[in-house]
Amino acid sequence: MAVTVDRLAKLRSSKAKVRRNRLWGWLFISPWVVGFLAFTLYPFIASLYYSFTNYNILSAPQWVGLQNYQYMLQDGLFWQSLGNTLYYTIVFVPVSTVVAIAIAMLLNMKIRGQTIYRTLFYLPSVVPLVASSVLWLWLFNPSFGFIDAFLRAMNLPAPGWLYSDAWVKPSLILMSLWGIGQPIVIYLAGLQGVPQELYEAALLEGANAWQRIRSVTLPMISPVILFNVILGMIGSFQYFTQAYVMTQGGPDNASLFFALYLYQNAFQYLHLGYACAMAWLLFVLILVATLLVFRSSARWVYYGNEQ
Amino acid sequence: MSLQPMSMVKNVPLKKRLRNISGSTIKHLVLILLAISFVFPMFWMISTSLKPDIEQLRWPPVWIPNPFDWANYPRAMNFEPFLHYILNTLYYGVLSVIGTVISSSVVAYGFARIDFPEKKVLFIIMLATLMLPFQVTMVPLFILFKTIGWVGSFKPLIVPTFFGSAFNIFLLRQFFMTIPISLSEAAYMDGANEFTIFLRIILPLAKPALATVALFQFIYAWNDFLGPLIYLNDQSLYTVSLGLQTYVSSYGTQWGLLMAASTVATLPIVILFFLTQRTFIQGISLSGLKG
C-alpha cells in the first residue's frame, strides 16, 4: 500500500516524471531516429550535394556547381518527361477523385450486397503492378487484344492505345482508374461517418438530391477528399512502374515520365549527379503542389464547428 | 366523397414504391456494369491463361475455355525459375513484416503513450518524410549500400524495415492512442515500467492493428518493383515482380504463358486479401479517416 502511494507520488511529481518520460520516450523512438538519420536525412542531404556534381559511380564525384540544373533548361527530354508527368497528374487526380467519390456514393446508398460490390471494386488494387501492367499490355494489344477486338466487332475505330503518341497517356490513365479501389474504400468510410440527421434536416428544408450532395455530403467528406487528393498527387508525380514495364517511355517518348527518365539517368546512363538534380526538382515540385493544395483547402475543406 | 382521398393515400405510396424499385434497379444496374468492368480484366487474365495460343485469336472470344488447357502453367513455371522467385519474394515479405511490425510498434508506443518535450517536433518530421519522394534518397542510398557491399542482396530491402516505417508508425500510433490511459497508470502503480506496459498491455490490445500493418507490409513487399529493380541485379535473387517483368521482353507474344505467370503472381495476394478482408478494409478506412 505504501509502495503504491509512493509510486503514485513519483508518477505525479513533475520533475522526476519529465526526466523519466524523456528517457523512455527517446528509448522507444530510437529505432526510428537511427533509421531516419541513416536512411532518410543522410541520403536527403547527400543527394543535394550530388546534384551539384558530375558523378558516374566509377570515379569520385566532381563539383560542377549549377551545371546539372542549367543542363535541364536545354534538355528536351527533361521537359518532355516533366510535361508527360504533369499531363498524367492533372488528368488522373481530378478524374479519379470524381469517379471514386461517385462510386463510393453509389455504394453508400444502403444498397443490398454493398460489401460484395466494395470487394469487387477493391480487388484490382491488390494485383501486383507488374502483373496488371502485363495484363493491360494484353488487353491493349492492337492485333489480338480484347479491347480492339471488341471495338472492331462494334465497327468502332481503335486508337492504337499504347502505340499512339496521342493515346498512350490516356491509355495509362484509363488503366490507373481501374486501380482506384483504395480511395473508393476510404471515401465510403468517410460517407458512412456523415450524420444521418444532416440529410434529414436538408430534406426538411426541401433540398433536392444534388443540393444535398453539394451542401451536406461534399463538405462533410472534404477532409477525406483533401487526404486522397494529396496522396494521389504525390503518387502521380512518381508514376514509374507501369511505364517501365509497358512502354519503356515510348512511342516517341510520349510516355517518358519524369521518374522513368530520372531512373534511366541514374542507372542506365550513370548520370547520377543529374539524376539527383532531377530528384530535387521533383521534391520541390511535390512540396509546392502540396502546399498549394493545403492553402486552397482553407476555402473548401470543412473541419466541423471548432475551426 | 370519402373514397377519393382513400385511393389517393393508397396511390401515393404505390407510385413511390414503384419509383423506389426502379430507382434501386437502376442503381444495381449501374453498379453491376461498373463491377463487371472492374473484374473483367482479371477474369480475362485467367481465361487467357487457360487457352492454347490459337484460341486467343478467336472472335467471338472463347470466354470460358472448355476444357481448361493447363499447359501454360508448367511452361510459365519452367521457362525461368518462377518457384524460386516466389520463395525469394516470401523471404523478402516475411522478414520485412517481422522488421516493420516490431520496430513500428515500439516507435509508435513512444509517440502515442509517452509525453516528452521533443515528441511533437519529431512526430512532425516523421510525417513530413511521408511526402519525400523515394527518388530523392534513391541514388545516395544505392551508393551507400554499394559501398558496404549490400547491393546484390536482400539487405537494402529488409534492414531498413527494422527501423520503422513512417506510415505504419503513424497508423499504430493512432490506434495506441485510443487505448485508455488509465490502463497504463494502473499497471504503473502495480510496478510495471513502460516496457512491460507496452509488452503486456498495449501489444495484446493492438493485435488487429498489428495484423493490418503486417498485411500492408507483406503486400507492399510482394508488389514492390523499384526496390528489387535497383538492388537485386542477380537473377537468382529475383522477386516475382522482377521475374515477371523479364518475361515481357523474353516471351512478349506468348500471351497464354504471360497470363499464366501473371495469374501465379496475383493469386497468392488475392487469396490473402479474401482471407483477411475485414482487417484489410478496416485498415484502409482507418488510414484515411484519421489522417
State the pLDDT at residue B20.
67
State the pLDDT at residue A9.
63
Tens digit of each residue's pLDDT (9 = 90 or more) over B107-150: 999 999 999 999 999 999 999 999 899 999 999 999 999 999 99
A32 assigned to some structural domain: yes
For residue B51, the distance in angstroms to the closest alpha carbon of chain A comes to 14
Residue B180 backbone phi and psi in degrees, to 5:
-55, 135
| Closest CB to B258 among A11, A138, A234 | A138
B236 assigned to some structural domain: yes
B146 assigned to some structural domain: yes
Interface contact A114, partner B, CB < 8 A? no
A57 assigned to some structural domain: no
State the pLDDT at residue B4.
42
Between chain A and chain B, how many beta carbons pairs sit less than 8 Å apart?
Answer: 287
Cβ atoms of residues B44 and B231 within 8 Å: no
Question: Are both A42 and A190 inside the same structural domain?
Answer: no
pLDDT higher than 70, residue B13: no
Residue A62 backbone phi and psi in degrees, to 5:
-120, 125
Question: B16 or A198: which carries more pLDDT confidence?
Answer: A198
pLDDT higher than 80, residue A14: no
Question: Are both A147 and A203 inside the same structural domain?
Answer: yes
pLDDT higher than 70, residue A10: no
Residues B2 and A286: their CA atoms lie apart, in Å, by 71
Q: Residue B124 CA to chain centroid, in angstroms? A: 25
A70 assigned to some structural domain: no
Band (B59; pLDDT cuts 50, 70, 90): confident
Find the mean pLDDT for residues B42-46.
Answer: 96
Question: Are both A124 and A26 inside the same structural domain?
Answer: no
Domain end, chosen from A11, A35, A50, is at: A50
Residues A56 and B149: their CA atoms lie apart, in Å, by 18
Question: Are both A191 and A275 inside the same structural domain?
Answer: yes
pLDDT higher than 90, residue A3: no
3-class DSSP assignment, residue A76: helix
Question: Are both A202 and A266 inside the same structural domain?
Answer: yes
pLDDT higher than 60, residue B9: no
Instruction: Tell me the residue range of the domain where B86 lies.
Output: 80-250
Question: Are both A108 and A253 inside the same structural domain?
Answer: yes
Band (B5; pLDDT cuts 50, 70, 90): very low
B269–A103 CB contact, under 8 Å:
no
Question: A12 or A65: which carries more pLDDT confidence?
Answer: A65
Residues 72-101 of B with CB under 8 A from A: none
Interface contact A37, partner B, CB < 8 A? no
Interface contact B115, partner A, CB < 8 A? yes
CATH number for B130: 1.10.3720.10
| Closest CB to B135 among A128, A224, A238 | A238
State the pLDDT at residue A306.
41
Structural domain count of chain B: 1
Band (A11; pLDDT cuts 50, 70, 90): low
Residues B143 and A212: their CA atoms lie apart, in Å, by 55
pLDDT higher than 60, residue B6: no
B13 assigned to some structural domain: no
A62 assigned to some structural domain: no
State the pLDDT at residue A16.
79
Interface contact B54, partner A, CB < 8 A? no
Interface contact B163, partner A, CB < 8 A? yes
Tens digit of each residue's pLDDT (9 = 90 or more) over A139-160: 999 888 999 989 988 989 888 8
Question: Are both A42 and A108 inside the same structural domain?
Answer: no
Per DSSP, which regions of A134-184 are E strands?
none
Q: Residue A276 to residues A64, A253, A267, B135: CA-CA distances in angstroms?
A: 13, 21, 12, 8
A66 assigned to some structural domain: no
A6 assigned to some structural domain: yes
Find the mean pLDDT for residues B163-175.
Answer: 93
Structural domain count of chain A: 2
Q: Mean of the per-residue pLDDT values for chain B?
A: 89
pLDDT higher than 60, residue B231: yes
Instruction: Tell me the range of A89-93, A103-107, A246-250, B172-176 where mean pLDDT is highest.
Output: A89-93
Residue B136, all three cell numbers: 530523392
pLDDT higher than 90, residue A65: yes
Question: Are both A168 and A23 inside the same structural domain?
Answer: no
State the pLDDT at residue A4.
59
Interface contact B107, partner A, CB < 8 A? yes
A281 assigned to some structural domain: yes
State the pLDDT at residue B48.
94
| Closest CB to A44 among B126, B136, B288 | B136
Band (B25; pLDDT cuts 50, 70, 90): confident
A234–B133 CB contact, under 8 Å:
yes
Complex ipTM:
0.89
For residue A239, the distance in angstroms to the closest alpha carbon of chain B comes to 11
Alpha-helix residue ranges (DSSP H) falling in A108-208: 114-122, 129-139, 146-153, 168-177, 181-192, 196-204
For residue A79, the distance in angstroms to the closest alpha carbon of chain B comes to 18
Question: Are both A43 and A90 inside the same structural domain?
Answer: no
Band (A111; pLDDT cuts 50, 70, 90): confident
Interface contact A130, partner B, CB < 8 A? yes
Find the mean pLDDT for residues B201-208.
Answer: 92
Task: Write the DSSP assignment of B36-83 as a string of letters.
Answer: HHHHHHHHHHHHHHTS-GGGGG-SS--SS-SS--TTHHHHHHHHTTHH
For residue A138, the distance in angstroms to the closest alpha carbon of chain B comes to 7
Residues A232 and A238: their CA atoms lie apart, in Å, by 10
Question: Are both A37 and A84 inside the same structural domain?
Answer: no
Question: Are both A145 and A12 inside the same structural domain?
Answer: no
B257 assigned to some structural domain: no
A55 assigned to some structural domain: no
Find the mean pLDDT for residues A86-115.
Answer: 93
Interface contact B186, partner A, CB < 8 A? no
State the pLDDT at residue A123.
93
State the pLDDT at residue A279.
98
Cβ atoms of residues A92 and A173 within 8 Å: yes
Instruction: Tell me the residue range of the domain where A163 lies.
Output: 76-300
| Closest CB to A22 among B117, B137, B266 | B117
pLDDT higher than 60, residue B7: no
Question: Are both A212 and A138 inside the same structural domain?
Answer: yes
Band (B10; pLDDT cuts 50, 70, 90): very low
B270 assigned to some structural domain: no
Residues 166-205 of A with CB under 8 A from B: 178, 181-183, 185-190, 193
Lowest mean pLDDT among A271-285, B103-117, B187-201: B187-201
Helix, strand, coil shares of chain B as percentages rounded to 5?
80, 0, 20
